[in-house]
Copies of this chain bind each other. A is one copy, B any other.
Amino acid sequence: MQIAIQGVKGAFHEVAARNYFGNNIEILPKLHFSDLAESVKKGECDFGIMAVENTISGTIHANLNLIQEHKLVVCGEEYLRIKQNLVAKKACRIEDLTEVRSHYMAINQSRNFFKQHPNIQLIESVDTALSMKEIAENNLTNVGAIGSLLAAEYYNLDVLAESIETNRKNYTRFLILRRDHIWKKTTSNKASLALILDNHPGSLAEILSIIAAYQIDLSKIESVPLVGEPWHYRFYLDVLFDNKQDYQKMIAEIKNKLDQLDILGEYTSGNQSYSKIHNNGN
């Protein structure tokens, strides 16, 4: 089974993919999210996995838009606690490092740790795992990187400090994406919707009232301005339901009241992985 990820081998996307699908998968690395969406769309892979939100940095609206525009199907989700680790070539000590490279987000999540090491310059890169790859390939002995343990293993680097992120409750939500609707899980208790409202005051409240009337929980709501259409928005909603029939009735009822409704996917919530993060805190 081929899974397209964002980033090179060892990126957090791969860690999330292995947690979701197990280890019997082949990873197809894509450097940019748009390439990842294209790959799923073209059927180059069986599934794609795409980060859409992070506790610290918020929702990546551009990625929700990529899913909507490419008409990809959301068929699952995975929550991953992001643990950042400082790694370097074997036998390097932290005192030897003059610079540390990583993705902006990884650097940003680890600033407190580096306050104790003011001599180390923090350099941004495109991808956490790519920085490790560069260190390995160019045999850089004064350069460290921040990223996953999986990547450290791939590129044969030593872990100088584990779990250096400032905030331990830092998790990223990944969506599992597929090309078309043919594949369906037998059960689902969550759906991701994209909708455009009939533009009058109170139209959003009306839709949310209908959702609530069916005892359906809203687990996320985002308004994204429609480019080129001032004061007009697309809303991304995630809903959780126990009863699929109630959910379907709700969809039928709100459909007529909307200018546009896209069901991005119906799937089993990643509740389990999410609860694990919050209960263990490790």
* A225 interface residue (CB < 8 Å to B): yes
* A4 interface residue (CB < 8 Å to B): no
Q: Say whether chain A's binding surface is mostly helix, strand, loop, or mixed.
A: mixed
- A60-B62 contact given A104-B104, A221-B223, CB 8 Å threshold: no
Nearest chain B residue, comparing its CB with the CB of A217? B201
B59 close to A61 (CB less than 8 A): yes
Chain B residue numbers with a CB within 8 Å of A206 are 212
Nearest chain B residue, comparing its CB with the CB of A281? B228
The count of identical subunits is 2
> Using an 8 Å CB-CB cutoff, how does the interface string of A9-51 with B read, 1 for contact, 0 for none?
0000000000000000000000010000000000000000000
* A211 interface residue (CB < 8 Å to B): yes
- A167-B62 contact given A208-B205, A216-B201, CB 8 Å threshold: no
* A260 interface residue (CB < 8 Å to B): no
* A161 interface residue (CB < 8 Å to B): no
Which of A32, A231, A233 has the most chain B CB within a 10 Å cutoff?
Answer: A231
Q: In the complex, A206 Cα to B213 Cα: how many Å?
A: 11
23 contacts between A and B (CB under 8 A): A32-B108, A55-B225, A56-B62, A58-B61, A58-B62, A58-B222, A59-B222, A104-B124, A124-B125, A201-B212, A201-B217, A202-B209, A205-B205, A205-B208, A205-B209, A220-B223, A220-B233, A221-B221, A221-B223, A221-B235, A222-B223, A230-B274, A230-B278
